[in-house]
A and B are shown apart, each in its own frame.
Chain A
């Protein structure tokens, strides 16, 4: 196990380096730059800015400098949000997105798993069909539609919930609904099909034949095996959700990290593009390692190599 984890971490570092390198050269290939605006800045000012941030150096040298600094934990200053470092921005915005995303993932698991089980146990019945319809809607309807509908009815028309910010539990309701709708639907479907698969297995019949109670069968034998695909899905999903959603954050004016990804790219804020990309890549890799370990716990037969 330890050896496995060590190996995975080694691989993770190589992967992150590769992601960083590809991103660095790709973003520099795209036309445009961080110091452009509708009004041309004077050539002296542009030159001074480029000198200040080292953008006047040859690209490969910039790359080496960046990697060396990053290895020392210095991800540089944002080129657009003057006076803030990339680390400042991530540390300031990530907790907001993480709280919102964490709650959303929790909600989707707590709703998706039981409903998926019910659908499987009630296969072909009305309840199953109803859950299927809801699940299909959840997958088909994009989050900005959900956001807008919620905002219009609950926020503006009925004025039940606040429309912007994230300062009290009430502020969480609409964004969490918008963020968790898709994963809930996805988990329901995953859970349903894998539960159906498990329920048809021989060992389930054996368990029943042994006279075990329904509860033991369901929780000890069926659920534990059926939940594996969900675990696989939840790992990366968690990484994406806690790093924030551009759409949901924009519509509900939530100061999260999601918007920074898009703003950084649109503004060619090179250091912030690098910082957010490396951050997301790291998180996804960590989540994948965690998923593998959880696998091992849930199903001890799985060998980690």
Chain B
């Protein structure tokens, strides 16, 4: 009896086991049915996916720069990963070359009037959209006005167009007030309300890419969510977009410089998890990944495939200047000098950041084209990061001068940060570092979406902060500390500083402007309006098979002229 039961159960289990196999096969076949054109036995095998491309003779570069972009509408994007994709799908009037210099893009030449108020761009002959239709100066007029449209609500409208005459009226709804005009199909004339020496950089900024009026009007915001309606004008166009999986871009045959494009396409793998990205890199499915797991960095340092390259951005701390004791510049300076920046950047942040001796790090360009940093403070670093012992002594002395010898009488303060990257490690380090001054620091970890409004409302003692530049003109970061700036989280308020920034905005004289900008940074550093800690770098893994690509200090990878070596 028992044996029979056992035999039956085993048979039942086997039958069920067989149905199990049948079941999964069944789903496999429905899967094949639903995505028949994409799924074949061969490309099911991940290791072979690059070979599939090779077998059809196509050269597709597979990379990872981030997860699904929230949007790839040029007017709406405000993220770096979206920016990387826009850079390859669109081309602005001007472009930036490998050395950070402005070069012709859709415009083959451009000139500025003597008063600096009129910018004229001359478009190339025979420009076309990725659908083969003609692209004219009127497309730029439409696109730029669209950026001002309150119904579009472009996050970067103010950054890129607020100096154009008629901007205030346009942003209020009267789009035609914006002084951007096409005098003929190939000439675009822009009138500014004040000189803007870096307007050329803005003309190369992705927000001001041209978009096709007919497509946008026919599809609304949704035009930028599907490959079929995503018409662009750059070296590539989007041929397939599976949200959460990948964006495939194919070479745009209508691009004016298509002959220089060697790749047949770029596959942007929308991988969210750094470990998953690393796995994909190790298997060779992806040849470049931006999201490298931090725990792998020690083993990767020194590898020829691991790159660390500066971007224009600084990790800094905001002190709430409206609150005691941070209203005292000596206290702020003491807190700043008590941080061992070489240790923070080199050890805690594993060398993925660089110790900051000032706010304006490498990559910011002075008015004469040289590095802004090299001309700052008479060529001397504001903070000598290599001599921490001396800094700490000075910090202790400053704190005593401020009336808190050895931290006596100093209130317990709170440092607020969100938990991502190295933020927590830095917070713990600050606890230790400021304890050297006799200061008791509490750490408050706040969820990201709550942290931003909290910091903006000034609801903190000290808070983590950071900024990555949009364009390399120093005003892009120095503006943050202008008394009325929306990003002035620490509420730094200094009349001299504001005056220097005002001069930098209005003057037409390059030397005078440079002087004003440097003066502003001098004041900011002297007053310790913020505490710069480290300069940002991008760090990534890239196969040696990729040739002809480069990385810019804006955080962009230029793959358009890249090639894959066999």
Contacts and interface: CB of A to CB of B under 8 A. Distances in A.
Contacts of A99: 27, 30-31
A250 B272 contact: yes
Given A31-B449, A36-B449, A45-B158, A103 B24 contact: yes
A156 B453 contact: no
Interface in A58-100: 77, 80-84, 88, 92-93, 96, 99
B interface SS class:
helix
Contacts of B8: 214-215, 218
Interface in A136-176: 148, 151-152, 155-156, 159, 161-172, 176
A259 B9 contact: no
B46 A164 contact: yes
Given A52-B151, A114-B16, A121-B5, A83 B223 contact: yes
8 contacts: A30-B449, A44-B171, A82-B70, A83-B225, A121-B6, A176-B24, A253-B272, A256-B244
Contact of B4 (A77, A164, A214, A254): A214
Interface stretch (A13-21, A105-113, A274-282): A105-113
Chain B, interface residues (CB within 8 Å), range: 35 or more
A33 interface: yes
Contacts of B41: 168
A103 B27 contact: yes
Contact of B276 (A114, A159, A164, A172): A164
Given A42-B486, A253-B270, 14 more contacts: A40-B456, A45-B154, A81-B71, A107-B23, A114-B17, A155-B279, A164-B271, A167-B38, A168-B31, A168-B32, A168-B43, A208-B1, A218-B8, A253-B271
A84 B280 contact: no
B442 interface: no
Nearest to B159: A42
Contacts of A40: 456, 486-487
Nearest to B31: A169
Given A48-B153, A155-B283, A214-B8, A106 B46 contact: no
B19 interface: yes
Contacts of B39: 167-168
A254 B245 CA distance: 6
Interface string B30-51: 1110010011010111110100
Contacts of A44: 150, 157-158, 171
B453 A213 contact: no
B222 A84 contact: yes
A96 B30 CA distance: 12
Nearest to A122: B6
B522 interface: no
Contact of A83 (B1, B171, B224, B273): B224
A93 B242 CA distance: 10
A32 interface: yes
B46 A161 contact: yes
Contacts of A148: 275
Nearest to A254: B244
Nearest to B151: A52
A159 B157 contact: no
Nearest to B77: A82
A32 B279 contact: no
Given A164-B285, A266-B448, A268-B449, A259 B20 contact: no
Given A110-B23, A253-B269, A169 B279 contact: no
Contacts of B12: 114, 117, 218-219
B221 interface: yes
B18 to A, nearest CB: 10
